[in-house]
């Protein structure tokens, strides 16, 4: 069996990565989402092992020491990381695996797994991103400001990606990601 493809899906918080992905995952049976670990507090409705593996800082640091992460980063005061073993297992089973991660982690994957397909999701504008993050109401005003500052840095990295999707219209963004997956599955490996 051919191993699956590793896809990195990055973009500033509030660009709609999660919404695009949940719809694409629902119609792409060959695609699996990697469940990340984080030290941030669960939001209302978030379930351990489904949305994230929620853990303490000590647990996370223990996993870093044991080299359990494919990548990890500190983002706005919390750790986030991709457990490596489940990703490798699913790729070996022939599934394509997508990582929804921020830009520092994406760059680590780019170095470690040069075959990974790098996709960046950009907001139509910073103003729109600010409206979405404030409108979502999941973070304090202070945290929203920190995420917006981080977004500026993240946007400056988009030229290092293979594909950029501007999430202006959700249906178009979903179609774009599916088109990328489809084209990559047809790519000739030399
Ligand atoms: P949130 O707190 O909104 O769930 O996530 C904050 C940021 O961390 C988002 O940009 C999200 O994509 C990113 N993120 C989620 N999981 C991981 C991970 O495993 N590694 C890295 N580097 N970033 C992650």
pLDDT at site 138: 86
Please give the DSSP secondary-structure letter assigned to residue 9: E
Contact assessment for residue 156 and residue 71, using Cβ atoms and an 8 Å cutoff: no
What pLDDT shows up at residue 169? Answer: 97
Compute the average pLDDT of residues 78-87. 98
Residue 78, strand partner residues: 75
Helices (H) and strands (E) in the chain, counts: 7, 9
Percent of the chain with pLDDT over 90: 94
Give the pLDDT mean for 19-36.
Answer: 97
Atom number in ligand 1 closest to CA 40: 2
CA of 188 to the centre of ligand 1 (A): 31
Work out the pLDDT band at 54, boundaries 50, 70, 90: very high
Residues with CB under 6 A from ligand 1: 13, 17, 36, 40, 71, 73, 75, 80-82, 100-102, 104-105
On the question of pLDDT at 48 being above 90, the answer is yes
- For 100-118, what is each residue's pLDDT tens digit? 999 999 999 999 999 999 9
Residue 190 has pLDDT above 80, yes or no: no
pLDDT > 70 in the chain, percent: 100
Res. 139: pLDDT tops 90: no
Strands (E), the chain: 6-10, 31-33, 37-38, 53-54, 69-75, 78-83, 96-101, 117-122, 163-166
């Amino acid at each position: 069996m051919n191993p699956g493809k590793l896809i990195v899906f990055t973009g500033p918080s509030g660009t709609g990565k999660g919404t695009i992905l949940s719809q694409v995952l629902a119609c792409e049976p060959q695609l699996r989402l990697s469940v990340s670990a984080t030290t941030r507090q669960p939001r209302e409705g978030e379930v351990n092992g489904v949305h994230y593996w929620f853990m303490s800082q000590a647990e996370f640091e223990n996993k870093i020491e044991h080299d359990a992460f494919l990548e990890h980063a500190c983002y706005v005061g919390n750790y986030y990381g991709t457990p490596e073993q489940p990703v490798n297992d699913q790729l070996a089973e022939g599934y394509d695996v997508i990582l929804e991660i921020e830009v520092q982690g994406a760059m680590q994957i780019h170095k470690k797994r040069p075959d990974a397909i790098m996709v960046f999701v950009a907001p139509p504008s910073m103003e729109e991103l600010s409206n979405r993050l404030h409108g979502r109401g999941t973070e304090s005003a202070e945290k929203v400001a920190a995420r917006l500052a981080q977004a500026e840095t993240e946007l400056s990295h988009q030229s290092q990606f293979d594909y950029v999707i501007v999430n202006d219209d959700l249906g178009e963004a979903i179609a774009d990601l599916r088109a990328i997956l489809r084209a990559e599955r047809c790519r000739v490996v030399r």
